[in-house]
Structure 1
Amino acid sequence: MKIAFIATYPPRECGIGAFTNNLFKSMLANSGSTEGRHEGFVVALNDNELTYKYPQEVKLTIRQERQEDYLKAVKYINLSGADLCILEHEFGIFGGQSGVYILPLLHRLEVPLIVTLHTILKTPSYNEKAILREICKMAQKIVVMSHKATEFLTSIYDVPKEKIALIEHGVPDIHFNPEESKKEFKLENKKVLLTFGFVGRNKGIETVIKALPKVVAKHPDVIYIVLGKTHPNVLRHSGEEYRIFLMRLVKNLQLEKHVLFLNEFIDERDLFKYLYACDIYITPYLNEAQITSGTLSYAVGVGAAVLSTPYWHAEELLADGRGRLFNFNNSGELATILIALLEHPEEMNKLKKKALEFGVKITWPKTGERYLALAQKTLKEERQVIAKKDTALDLLILPPFSLTHINRLTDDTGIIQHAKFGIPNLKEGYCLDDNSRALLMVLMAYRQIKDMRALELSPIYLSYIHYMQNADGTFRNFLSFSRNFLDEVGSEDSFGRTIWALGYLLGNAPNDAYYQTGKLVFLNASPNFENLKSIRGIANTMIGICYYLKSNPSDDSMTERLRNLANGLLKHYKENQAPDWNWFESLLAYDNGILPLALLHSAEILNDEKITQTAIESMDFLTKHTLKDNYLSIIGNEKWYKKEGERSVFAQQPIDAMAMVLMYHQAFHVTKNKDYLNKLYTSFLWFLGENDLRLSLYDFETQGCCDGFESNGVNRNQGAESSLAYLISHLTVLQAYEEFHEFD
């Protein structure tokens, strides 16, 4: 068996790196006979552009904030002959928002995955919860180090219990004589208290220092050693502020002879000498939110007398007499316990004995055996390939259709265009684009599922459109929250989207009043159709005209307008077409699916073979560049995708996913090819997490849709454009499902 490990690794100074190094050695040391030999390699995470002189087992490095490195790493692993991958997960060691960069790597992984979770949050942020849930979905097995961790995973993150394996934190199998260790450090005449690990404010070291005056008054031979460097993240943001605070506290309490700060990251052998030299080990953390503590495991592993605050791992590990607990920030209680143990060494020895009895069970050789057994079991089990799901329409995984967030964004004037997270951002006011999309969405909702709230909302959006129309039939776009116009004439894109919504209204009006109002606005705007220059403005307008002609097929002049606009698109296509570039522009930009969609609608009305052919060719070209890996990867609007250039992956936006959903739906209408329904469904799943970051854009709490995602994670704002794009796509899936079964 060949195993790939992804983690930090020595000589980088990191607790997870030390863990991985021990895991690597212990799993490979358990290879046994030649027939059962195992091999492996490490993909190491570098931080802040630093480089390290790694040992030979590190075959590749990832720069934490360089996403391209993650994608190179997964290609290397997939081609390496590895049978299995083990990921050590901690939010802070991976790049992007809450470590999101690891998700695209895991999504592309072609071997089974085991994940060790070093941190599991009880109250995660939206992104932290989404990322950890996605990692757990992709993993075949998840290793935790405490029962509390299992409880959190099942109750907070909805992880199936059968996926979870409990393997305690390993302890190096290193032994020293306590008396000789004390002598080596010139501590033979001292009662030694010890805390080790990275130093930071959450470690609560001041609690121990404040307890010492009472202790040294009775036991003047006590010395407290704080062994460890300041945490690198703390150093970057606060420098040595906390260590200086501790040193001043020591001085103020006149404890200079009783407290020793060793500001260094020492190797494991020297660390274990200090552990054997200490009489009492203390972890005085300030709150319960610590699911795993390697330092605590080490102390129990060597059979130290351990005192700790009752954080989650400590409560579990020190149960059954393996240690003693004192309350958070309670220096008085700690002093009382310390004095009692120092005055009754037989009680201290009981703690040591109980700890050692447990410690011998969690040495790294034994822990490595358990990981190896789990790896072998995982390989025997059938692997679930998440990246290659069947894309046949499945309504069971759709969230219930809900207008909750649209209600939140809508007042008696129209729909607010932006939101801060899920809250309307009134400062940004209204826009024609979004009110037109909103009208389209509520008309679809009433037509398909007879949603009465959708019917109630429709006159609000229609009246906004009417209010924003100029005397010459053009439209203003932006209106402030104080109801002041912010422009004279809106963009051609906003004009086209409005014609689309009005055209749909004329074909699907819920009553005559709406129909007559919509027709008035539509026909007033129609003289401007021939003046359009923007190809997306043209495309949106064409779609609106097609809907209009379905209910007014005898309007020959409008049919000719449609033909002229379609020919204009064909002209753009012909001018820009080249070998391997079947597109309307010299780049793929935004809202791309709208262009083939407009031609597909026109083909249905005009019955023109050239229009149909161009629609299919351009759609296939777009599919080639966005759906090649069995999920939708939208052209990002950071740099877009210029001919003979490199495509931009970020930032991806929901209107592009909506355009793809609608495009494939219309392609099915025109061709009756069921494969387009599968592509439609795959495109819709972009909203629910089948995307480059493996994160859902749909917010199940607010029932809105996030505004897209950047390279570092999801943009949590949930404006009208993105939420309407989701709902229009959702309704299209429902419609496609019905049509599929009618066709079938």
Structure 2
Amino acid sequence: MKIAYISTYLPKQCGIATFTNDLLQSIDHQDSTITQHIIALSDRPYSYNEEVVFEINPQQQLDYIQAANFINENKYDCVVLEHEYGIFGGNSGVYILSLINLLHMPLLVNLHTILEKPNIDERAILIEIAKRASIIVVMSSYAIGLLQKIYHVHENKIRLIPHGVPAFDYQQNDAKEKLQLTDRRIILTFGFIARNKGIETVIHALPKVVQEYPNTVYLIVGKTHPNVLLESGEEYREYLTALIKQMGLENNIIFVNDFVSNETLTTYLTACDIYITPYINEAQITSGTLSFAVGAGAAVISTPYWHAKDLLADGRGILFDFKNHKELKNILIDLFDNPKKLEELRSRARHHGEKMTWNKLGGSYVKLLQKLSSTQVNLDTDIKITMLERFPKFRWDHLDRLTNYVGIIQHATFATPNYREGYCLDDNARALLVSLMQYEAFGEKDTRKRISTYLNYIYYAQREDGLFHNFMNFQNEFLEEVGSEDSFGRAIWALGYLFNTAPFVDFYQLGSNMFFKAMPHFENLKSIRAIAYTMMGIAEYLKQQPNDERVTELLRKLAFKLVHEYDSSADDEWKWFEPVLAYDNAIIPLAILMSTKYLNDDKLRKIGFSSFYFLENIIMQNGFLSIIGNQKWAKQNQNISKFGQQPIDVTATVLLFREVFEITKNEEYFEKMIRSFEWFLGENDLKLPLYDHSTKGCCDGLETYGINRNQGAESTLCYFIAYLTVYKSLKIKFQVEE
């Protein structure tokens, strides 16, 4: 059996690294025939042992994909993920999703942090990890409830295995002698030093204790947390040092500023009389330091954070309120006053700790891994067609939030309209299209008002010569004389769609007037995307007026402009219209294929399909849509940028697969249309949804750091264009099948 671990690893000074090392050794002790390798998260160069076979730079997203390929190629039987948000790159450690979702084998996840109040990314990431995991291991019973209540993880997937601890010999006198503290009453706290550890609470409690028992010594063992050191230096340690001096405790408190080895730590824990974790808030689901103290048979006093309440139940320790140094003082004096009570506390802890040794827990992990390695992960990527009654409901909430009597505001800060950025023709054209598609699908009367608003914006934006302004500020002043060609093309697409779906004759007449007023400019277009959008608008018009030879001939001229671009750029390997793959790519073969319904030309059809197949092979890999990011446009024989991926490209891809399916009747493309739409719902490189079910808006894209949480008009409108395209296709398909 071959196991790969994804984790930090020694010699990195990190609790996760230590845990993973201990786990490897315990499994090797149980079964030395198991091959164990580490895929190490390395924030800087380390001198690793031979078990580390691959390193990931936490901030390089491509490293995670390469690590997944390495694991798959080396055919490991099972993968173990040590999960802690802070050790992975991207927002809240989102990069790890792109690794685990490419794996071909079962995944066991040890969760070291489970948050009761996660932010959006933290919650979404853990939900996705839980979906991919075969087994999730938690280290306290309280964690099980959190997983079920907040992250909706089924109990059948969860296993409780305590945090492992070393085997202790409990020879306290020998340990004290080794530390040269034979005649001292030892109180101990160990672990990384940071303000959330609450060490000042213990210091405030000690003067009265020392007054009663002068031989008391408080050992604070551990380095300052690396993140704290980076941000604040030794400010907290210096504060504690000053407090110690103020309290006159210089002879009773000792700092051991070191990341101690397990052997040294065992000595400190065995020697101590009382161990204290004085953390200042409850949100800690796992504490390795607390587990070690119980395993050592120490009398443990702790604030009531989650793991402490769980581990110290049934008399295995004593709890005191957060920051309550007076209560702590009383407990300490009481225990020193009553040696028998202190010894009973130590005995209960020791008895429980013997069940938590790595030697015993290793067997539990071996059984889990053996069971998992014999199971198969379902890698079938066939889409499960969503039934109409389960399809997400269309909601206007966010679009209405962005819309006023003038039109739709183009940008948002998170889900709040950003009035400073004003309006644009592009988004009001898309909004008209969404309104028409929604009215066609559902026939809601209120939608007519929205159609009127967006149509009137386009009317207001059209110049006397038939061209359009694009950007307008919030004071209703246009910001340029002539808008972009792309915005022109999108307006024509929406106006073309209006010919078949206008709910009122007045809307039809106004749209028709604008369409034909703009028509003299069609032949002058140079942007290939503007040409493509205009062709789509013409194709929509020809659905109603298929015998209009003048417009049909105009469509032919535009189509062969694209053919000319294709002939200039394409070769045997690069079958595309430009030297690069840039934005909104799918719209170009889509326009050509739409035109073939009205233009009987084999060359158009051939170019439409060859460019479609070329694009499909690039963006549809590993069973999900991975579009070209705008960080760096794709060129032949170069790596393709994964970020930032934007909804506009996804919507174009959905429309393209829908068109290819309608032409070929090949079910593969119907399924890929739906799979492309599911990019919005989490089937993407980060495995995170961009559609926000709470706001009914869509986030602006996949970036290097995670999700861009702004929900601008373009993103939400693109989501709903794709949504309504898929909805209509599903409805037609099911009606036909019924």
Fold agreement, TM-score > 0.5: yes
Once residues 265 and 354 of structure 1 are traced to their aligned partners in structure 2, the CA distance between those partners, rounded to angstroms, is 28
1:39-58 matched pairs, under 5 angstroms? 39-47=35-43, 50-58=44-52
Residue 87 of structure 1: SS of its match in structure 2? strand
**1:356 pairs with 350, 356, 360, which one?**
350
Once residues 91 and 655 of structure 1 are traced to their aligned partners in structure 2, the CA distance between those partners, rounded to angstroms, is 30
- 1:447 is matched with 440
Once residues 178 and 373 of structure 2 are traced to their aligned partners in structure 1, the CA distance between those partners, rounded to angstroms, is 48
1:518 aligns with 2:514: no
Answer yes or no: is the 8 Å Cα contact 1:41–1:58 preserved in 2.
yes
Q: CA deviation at 1:543?
A: 0.3
Once residues 160 and 356 of structure 1 are traced to their aligned partners in structure 2, the CA distance between those partners, rounded to angstroms, is 33
**2:166 pairs with 162, 172, 187, which one?**
172
- 1:274 is matched with 268
Once residues 280 and 514 of structure 1 are traced to their aligned partners in structure 2, the CA distance between those partners, rounded to angstroms, is 81
Q: CA deviation at 1:376?
A: 1.9
Residue 482 of structure 1: SS of its match in structure 2? coil
Answer yes or no: is the 8 Å Cα contact 1:416–1:430 preserved in 2.
yes
Q: CA deviation at 1:631?
A: 0.7
Answer yes or no: is the 8 Å Cα contact 2:168–2:270 preserved in 1.
no
Once residues 110 and 383 of structure 1 are traced to their aligned partners in structure 2, the CA distance between those partners, rounded to angstroms, is 7
Please give the root-mean-square deviation of Cα atoms over the aligned residues, in Å: 1.3
1:201 aligns with 2:195: yes
Q: Which runs of 5+ in 1 are unaligned?
A: none
Residue 173 of structure 1: SS of its match in structure 2? coil
1:696-711 matched pairs, under 5 angstroms? 696-711=689-704
- 1:118 is matched with 112
1:235-634 matched pairs, under 5 angstroms? 235-385=229-379, 388-392=381-385, 394-395=387-388, 398-634=391-627
Answer yes or no: is the 8 Å Cα contact 2:105–2:376 preserved in 1.
no
Once residues 327 and 207 of structure 2 are traced to their aligned partners in structure 1, the CA distance between those partners, rounded to angstroms, is 13
Once residues 339 and 309 of structure 1 are traced to their aligned partners in structure 2, the CA distance between those partners, rounded to angstroms, is 17
Show CA shifts across 1:29-61 (max 9, x none): 1117xxxx32211111112xx111111211121
- 1:10 is matched with 10
Task: Please identify, of 11-20 and 393-402, the stretch whose mean Cα deviation from structure 2 is larger.
Answer: 393-402
Task: Please identify, of 38-47 and 534-543, the stretch whose mean Cα deviation from structure 2 is larger.
Answer: 38-47
- Check 1:80–1:645 CA distance in 2 against 1; reply closer, same or farther (3 A cut): closer
Q: CA deviation at 1:642?
A: 1.2
Answer yes or no: is the 8 Å Cα contact 1:604–1:670 preserved in 2.
no
1:726-737 matched pairs, under 5 angstroms? 726-737=719-730
Residue 195 of structure 1: SS of its match in structure 2? strand
1:100-111 matched pairs, under 5 angstroms? 100-111=94-105
1:60 aligns with 2:54: yes
Answer yes or no: is the 8 Å Cα contact 1:84–1:379 preserved in 2.
yes
Once residues 245 and 670 of structure 1 are traced to their aligned partners in structure 2, the CA distance between those partners, rounded to angstroms, is 73
- 1:152 is matched with 146
Answer yes or no: is the 8 Å Cα contact 1:74–1:109 preserved in 2.
yes
- 1:133 is matched with 127
Q: CA deviation at 1:554?
A: 3.1
**2:714 pairs with 702, 721, 725, which one?**
721
Q: Which amino acid aligns with 2:38?
A: V
Once residues 387 and 66 of structure 2 are traced to their aligned partners in structure 1, the CA distance between those partners, rounded to angstroms, is 34
Once residues 227 and 304 of structure 1 are traced to their aligned partners in structure 2, the CA distance between those partners, rounded to angstroms, is 15
- Check 1:193–1:19 CA distance in 2 against 1; reply closer, same or farther (3 A cut): same
Q: Which runs of 5+ in 2 are unaligned?
A: none
Task: Please identify, of 391-400 and 504-513, the stretch whose mean Cα deviation from structure 2 is larger.
Answer: 391-400
Task: Please identify, of 184-193 and 67-76, the stretch whose mean Cα deviation from structure 2 is larger.
Answer: 67-76
Residue 690 of structure 1: SS of its match in structure 2? coil
Answer yes or no: is the 8 Å Cα contact 1:176–1:272 preserved in 2.
no
Q: Which amino acid aligns with 1:732?
A: T
Q: Which amino acid aligns with 2:213?
A: H
Show CA shifts across 1:527-570 (max 9, x none): 11111000000000010011112112232211111110011111
Once residues 386 and 673 of structure 2 are traced to their aligned partners in structure 1, the CA distance between those partners, rounded to angstroms, is 9
Once residues 396 and 171 of structure 1 are traced to their aligned partners in structure 2, the CA distance between those partners, rounded to angstroms, is 51
Residue 224 of structure 1: SS of its match in structure 2? strand
Once residues 447 and 582 of structure 2 are traced to their aligned partners in structure 1, the CA distance between those partners, rounded to angstroms, is 32
1:192 aligns with 2:168: no
Q: CA deviation at 1:646?
A: 2.3
Q: Which amino acid aligns with 1:157?
A: Y
Q: CA deviation at 1:22?
A: 0.7
Answer yes or no: is the 8 Å Cα contact 1:391–1:679 preserved in 2.
no
Once residues 396 and 83 of structure 1 are traced to their aligned partners in structure 2, the CA distance between those partners, rounded to angstroms, is 39
Once residues 395 and 553 of structure 1 are traced to their aligned partners in structure 2, the CA distance between those partners, rounded to angstroms, is 32
Q: CA deviation at 1:180?
A: 1.1
- TM-score, normalised to structure 2, is 0.98
Q: Which amino acid aligns with 2:640?
A: R
Once residues 111 and 434 of structure 1 are traced to their aligned partners in structure 2, the CA distance between those partners, rounded to angstroms, is 44
Residue 625 of structure 2: SS of its match in structure 1? coil
Answer yes or no: is the 8 Å Cα contact 1:176–1:273 preserved in 2.
no
Once residues 456 and 368 of structure 1 are traced to their aligned partners in structure 2, the CA distance between those partners, rounded to angstroms, is 66
- 2:29 is matched with 29
**1:223 pairs with 217, 221, 224, which one?**
217
Q: Which amino acid aligns with 1:523?
A: F
Once residues 541 and 717 of structure 2 are traced to their aligned partners in structure 1, the CA distance between those partners, rounded to angstroms, is 22
Q: CA deviation at 1:176?
A: 4.9
Answer yes or no: is the 8 Å Cα contact 2:5–2:36 preserved in 1.
yes
Task: Please identify, of 513-522 and 296-305, the stretch whose mean Cα deviation from structure 2 is larger.
Answer: 513-522
Q: CA deviation at 1:673?
A: 2.2
- 2:84 is matched with 90
Aligned length: 737
Q: CA deviation at 1:2?
A: 1.3
Q: Which amino acid aligns with 2:661?
A: F
Residue 415 of structure 1: SS of its match in structure 2? coil
Residue 360 of structure 1: SS of its match in structure 2? helix
Q: CA deviation at 1:380?
A: 3.8
Answer yes or no: is the 8 Å Cα contact 1:391–1:682 preserved in 2.
no
Q: Which amino acid aligns with 1:609?
A: D
Q: CA deviation at 1:158?
A: 1.1
1:655-734 matched pairs, under 5 angstroms? 655-734=648-727
Q: CA deviation at 1:174?
A: 3.5
| Percent identity between the two aligned chains | 51
Once residues 389 and 273 of structure 2 are traced to their aligned partners in structure 1, the CA distance between those partners, rounded to angstroms, is 60
Q: Which amino acid aligns with 1:85?
A: V
Answer yes or no: is the 8 Å Cα contact 1:631–1:683 preserved in 2.
yes
Once residues 164 and 644 of structure 1 are traced to their aligned partners in structure 2, the CA distance between those partners, rounded to angstroms, is 45
Task: Please identify, of 77-86 and 650-659, the stretch whose mean Cα deviation from structure 2 is larger.
Answer: 77-86
1:645 aligns with 2:641: no
